[in-house]
Structure formats: C-alpha cells, structure tokens
Structure 1
Amino acid sequence: MLGVVAAALGGPEVLQVTELPEPAAKPGQVVVRIRAVCVHPADVAATTGKIPGGPVAPPFSPGWDIAGEVASAGPDTTDFEVGDRVVGMIPWYLTRGAPGGYAEFVAADTDWLVRLPDELDFVSAATVPLNAQTAHQGLSLVSSAGGGMLVTGASGGVGGFATQLAVRSGFRVLAQATDDDEQWVRGLGAHEVVSRSADLATVGPVAAVFDAVPLGEVAAAAVEDGGVVVVTRPTPAIDPARGVRQELQLIRHDRALLADLVGQVAAGRLRTRVAATMPLTEAAGAHRRVSAGGLRGKIVLTVG
C-alpha cells in the first residue's frame, strides 16, 4: 500500500510517498480503508519536531483524523463489520506515528472509531475528531457559563467549534475572525465578531478566554481579574497578581463524546468546513499550504 512518512525532521520536503506493508488487524482492531485524512497544524509540528514530549525519531507517519470503511476485522472483534463507514482519531500523542493516518490502510483500535452516519461525507467527517473534541474538552474547564467569552482563532477548526459550543452553553461569545472571514464566524452564532487586528485589551473584560490560536498574553489581556484562560499550547504564565486561572487543554480521546459530536455535525447542528482536498500523494504540498496559513477551513487528503 502507499503511505506517506516523514523520513527526517524538517519542512514539507521531508514527507515521502512510499510503499508500506499492508497492516493486519489484531484482536480489538479493524483495518480501515482510508478515504480521507485531515491535515492539522499538529502534523506540521510533528514533522518539525516541535511537539509535547519532544520530537519523534523518523521515519514515522503523520495523521490524526481518519474516515473510511472497515476492510477487515481482527479476531473476536465485534464492534464493526466489513464495509461499515467509520470516522475516528488516531491518538497520535500515544502512537507517535506508528500508526499515523497518512496511508491507504490503517490498523485501528476499535475504541478510536465511531460509526459514520450516511448523512456525512468522508471529507467533512475527517475534520471533526481532533478539533471538536479539543473545543468541547477545553470549554469543560470553564465553569462560568452565562458570562462573556472571547474565542481567538474562531475562523479555524478548534476555534470554530469552540464558538458554536460556547454559544450553546450560554456564553456571550466575542469571536475573533480572520480578516474578511467575519460572515462565516457570525454564522457560527457569535454575538460579536472582532477582527484579527483588533486590540484585544479593549474588547473585554470577559469572564473567560478560549485562546485557540493561541496568542498568549495578547489574548489574556481581555480576561477580567479572577477569570480563566484556556490555551491549546503552552504559553507564558499570566501575572499571578491578577488571579487568572490558566488551563492547558491537550486532547484526550473520548469515544462517546466523538460519537455525539459527529452526530451533531451529520445532523447540521454543528458546522465544519473544508478549504480544499488534495490526493494523499500531495501531502507535502498540503503541509506547505497549512504552514502558509490563511486557509478558510481544513485541508483534507483523499485516498482512492
């Protein structure tokens, strides 16, 4: 089978399309025929070695979020049958690229996967697991529902889901949008949209900040003393005299939560968007586009 591996640490040029052994399903696993795999900034970070826990020794395969069909099932595996449509998240923070999702087939633990409703296509589904779970889990760290919340990066994957979920949780959401992307962010339900160039110190104070970019101190300037800031990567500590609680949200795979979120996207209650699709063999080009920024949605690699 074809797969994409990082042959060294570095930029997109380290990604190589290569022939890999086709995996076999062990007990508790299925082999998924990949139809779509999302390209995340986390994948770019992995290839450059800038990830929590330190760099992974090459070669390894990037890729967290996959969607496809069950091609075979391991012994005593009853959760899925051959032909079932599935979507899931490879817990890359555990697998460290063995496996990763950039391949034609992946042997996946059944706990990583949920059924994919017929109403949702493979490409859109592949944008959901990492982003939506991160947003939901990050919001669970904030207890002051009903107050104001600033969401940075609301044009992006995590920020877009955080905006929608925060509105539904009762927050009054101020969402920061990429320039000329305000209409999309308003469509997510944000009560107020602020531009990327806005001085965030002037938009608050708010009870909480979901810093999905993250911007660090720039975003923390909007939170009231005694408030809470949730960040998606480590950022400098906030002045302790302000009494601000600073929470680091790192993904924890939750199968039941993923099933619920995928169902909400399939039913149209949560929105996601795709900037472009590219063949798996063009993974290096996809990484270049993600690194360049400015995307309106996710890049998804397609297979077959």
Structure 2
Amino acid sequence: MLGVVAAALGGPEVLQVTELPEPEAGPGQVVVRVRAVCVHPADVASTTGEIPRGPVPTPFLPGWDIAGEVVSVGPDTAEFAVGDRVAGMIPWYLTRGAPGGYAELVAADAEWLVPLPAELDFAAAATVPLNAQTAHQGLALVSLAMLPAGSSILVTGASGGVGGFATQLAVQSGFRVLAQATHDDEEWVRGLGAHEVVSRTTDLSTVGPVAAVFDAVPVGEAAAAAVEDRGIVVVTRPTPGFVPSRGVRQELQLIRLDRELLADLVKQAAAGRLSTRVAATLPLTEAADAHRRVLAGGLRGKLVLTAD
C-alpha cells in the first residue's frame, strides 16, 4: 500500500510517498481503507517538530482524522463488520505517527472509530473529529464558569475548522455569539448562526466586553482585551506573552478522544445540524502540496487527501 511519511523534520519537502506493508488487524482493531484524511495545521507542525512533548523521531506518518470503510476485523472485535463506513480520530498525541492517517490502509483501534451515516460523504466526515471535538471540549471549559444564560462569547477564527464548530456549538448552548471572520468570509460565518460578525482587522478591545472568549486562532493578549473582569479565555495552543490581569484567566484546551462525543458530532454533521466545508480534495500522493497550501493560508475550509 502507499503511505506518506515524514522522512525527516522540515517543510513539506520532507513528505515522501512510500510503499508500506499492509497492516493487519490485531485484537480490538479493524483495518480501514482510508477514503479521506483531513490535513490539519497539526500535521504541518508535526513535520517541523513544533508540537507538545517535542519532535517525533522520523520516519512517521502524519494524519489524525480519517474516513473510510472497514476491510478486515481483528480478533475480539464485534463492533464493526467488513464493509462498514466509519469515521474516526487517530489519537496522534498517543500514537506519534505509528499509525498515522496518511496511508491507504490503517489498522485502527475500534474505540477510535464511529459509524459513518450514508448522508455524510467521506471528505466532509474527515473534517469533523479533531476540530469539532476540540470546539466542544473548549466550550465545556467555558460552561464550567457557570455563566448566566444568554452570556456573550467571542469566537476568534470563526472562519476556520475549530472556530466554525465552536461558533455553532456555542449558539446551540444558548450563548450570544460574536464571531470574528476572515475578510470576505463574513457571510459563511453569519450562516453558522453567529449573532454578530466582526472582521479580522477589528480591534478586539472595542468588542464587548464579553464573558468569555474561545480563542481558536489564537491571538492571545488581544483576545483577553475583549473579556470582562474575571472572565475566561480558552485557547487551543499555548500563547506566550499572556499576562493575567483584571482576574481574567486563560485555559488551554488540548484534544482528547471522546468516542461518545465523536459519534454525536458525526451524527449532527450528517443530519445537517453542524456545517463543515472542504476547500479542496487532493490525491494522497500530493500531501506535500497540501502542506504548502496550508502554510500559504487563505483557505476557505479544510484540505482533504483522498485515496480512491
């Protein structure tokens, strides 16, 4: 089978299309024929070594989110059968690229996967697991603050994957949502249900004050300027330079796999209750080009690699 490995640490040029042994399903596992794998900034960061816990020894396979079909089932695995459509998240923070999703076939623990309804295509399904779970779990940190019903929350990066899901889920939770959109993307963000949309160039100190910020970019100190005294800022990666003041606290949200949550989020996407978007699909063999496009920025939606 073909896979794309990071042969060394560096830019997109380190990604190499390689012939790999076909995996076998062990106890509690299935082998998934990967039809789609999402390209995340986290994948790009893995190849440069700029990730929590430090660089991963090369070679390794990038790739968190996959969607495809079960082609074989291991011993003691009763949850899935050959032919089942599945979506899932490889907990890359644990596997460290062994396995990763940039491959035609992946031996995946059954607990990483959920059924994929026919209403959701493979490419769209591959955009859900990491981003939507991160958004939901980050909003749970906001909810722990016991904010009054109807409290205002600002979401930065609402045009992006995590921010887009956070906007929708915050609206579902009853927050009044101010969402910051990329230039010329205001219509998309407004369609996610945001009560107010502000531009990327807006001085956030003039917004609000809001009870909380989901800083999906993150922008760091600028986001804290929008929060009322003793408010909360949730960030998706560490933001050096944040200096607590006015009782404002910063909470770091790092992804953790929650299978029950993932199943619900995939069902919501399939039913049209959660919107996602794919900027483009590229063949798996063009992973290096996909990384270049992520680094260049300006995407409207996620890039997805396909292996048909």
State the TM-score bracket (shorter-chain normalisation).
over 0.9
Deviation track 1:128-164 (CA, whole Å, cap 9, x = no partner) reads 0000000000000012252111100000000000000
Question: Residue 122 of structure 2 corresponds to which residue in structure 1?
Answer: 122
In the alignment, which of 272, 286, 294 is matched to residue 290 of structure 1? 294
* Pair 1:179 & 2:183 matched: yes
| 1:254 matched to 2:258 | yes
Where 1:135 maps in the other structure, the secondary structure is helix
> Does structure 2 conserve the Cα–Cα contact (< 8 Å) formed by 1:178 and 1:196?
yes
Match of 1:216 among 201, 217, 220: 220
Residue 10 of structure 2 is matched in structure 1 by: 10
Deviations along 1:265-294, one digit per CA (max 9) or x if unpaired, are 000001000000000000000000011111
Q: TM-score, normalised by structure 2?
A: 0.98
Identity of matched residues, %: 83
Residue 86 of structure 1: aligned partner: 86
* Aligned CA-pair RMSD: 0.8
Gaps of 5+ in 2: none
Contact 1:217 1:236 in 2 (8 A): no
CA distance in 2, matches of 1:217, 1:20: 45
Is 1:160 the counterpart of 2:164 in the alignment? yes
C-alpha contact (below 8 Å) 2:221/2:243 kept by paired residues: no
Shift of 1:219: 1.1
Displacement of 1:238 in angstroms is 4.0
SS of aligned partner of 1:283? helix
C-alpha contact (below 8 Å) 1:91/1:253 kept by paired residues: yes
Contact 1:205 1:224 in 2 (8 A): yes
2:49 alignment partner AA: G
C-alpha separation between the residues in 2 aligned to 1:206 and 1:191?
13
4+ residue segments displaced more than 2 Å: 236-241
Instruction: Report the residue type matching 2:37 in the other structure.
Output: V
Range that drifts further, 36-45 or 217-226: 217-226
Give the AA of the match of 1:254: D
Offset from partner CA, 1:33-86 (integer Å, 9 cap, x none): 000000000000000100000010110000000000001000121010000000
| Corresponding residue SS for 1:240 | coil
- Structure 2 distance, partners of 1:237, 1:286, is 31
Equivalences for 1:218-237 in 2 at 5 Å? 218-236=222-240
Distance of 1:45 and 1:226 partners within structure 2: 33
Q: CA deviation at 1:237?
A: 5.8
